[in-house]
Structure 1
Amino acid sequence: MITAITHGIKVSVKPEYQPFYSQPARNLYAFSYTINIENTTDVTVKLLTRHWEIFDSYGTAYEVNGEGVVGLFPIIEPGESFEYTSGCNFASTVGKMQGKYIMQRVRDGKTFEISIPEFLLEVPYILN
């Protein structure tokens, strides 16, 4: 699991190859990633937006911006966490992602940026 802590918010990522949804003969490789966002501060926070930078091994880069995550705007109390799973597809067997969340302190409305650590998405058998 890959982890980063920014302003007391711990973001952990667990990527996974999805062979059932992949079609290697058509250069389609499906991946999921599970993200756990843990609030280690003493204030309640709300996730407002996400920004992703996505790269495949062919050099193609994508940016994805959006509100919330998986249709939600989670509010995370001190000492609690929120977990979700999402995914992406690549034409190559290896890719990587990184990004950021914009969070808001509920008590005063102040916003701040949280890093999503870079993580690899790779087909397991490609490393053999």
Structure 2
Amino acid sequence: MVDFQTIYRKCSRANLLGEPCHVLQQFLDKNGSVLIVTDHTVSSFKSIEGYALQSDACRAFFPKQSVEELKASSHLHYIREQCLKVDFVTPPLMKNQFLRQFAKAIETGANLEKVAEEFCLENV
């Protein structure tokens, strides 16, 4: 079994994440790895560029950006931070438009409890 966590840590410490995939491939080859590295993009809420690493038995994905950078650039992170200010837990399948409006109301409101109460009574 391939220890992808250790490999990711080594690549990160060598500042290789974000480099072209052939640079990562050369680094892994020098360290005795039998992995094949290709560019890959994961698309869900947001496209995340990275590398697909393939061995005979398993496959992994390493993002080119750090997890902290990915979190900071996400509108979902912003919405989460705003909702935490009023102890609001978002139910599953809540519309994105509602969440954005709610987060903006929290950010610009003075009395956060009142903002949360009024917004939820009007929209939920």
Could you say whether these structures have the same fold, taking a TM-score greater than 0.5 normalized by the shorter chain as the test? no
Say which structure, 1 or 2, has more relative contact order (CA 8 Å, 6+ apart).
1
**TM score, norm. by length of structure 2:** 0.28
**TM score, norm. by length of structure 1:** 0.27
Structure whose CA Rg is larger: 2
Say which structure is richer in strand.
1
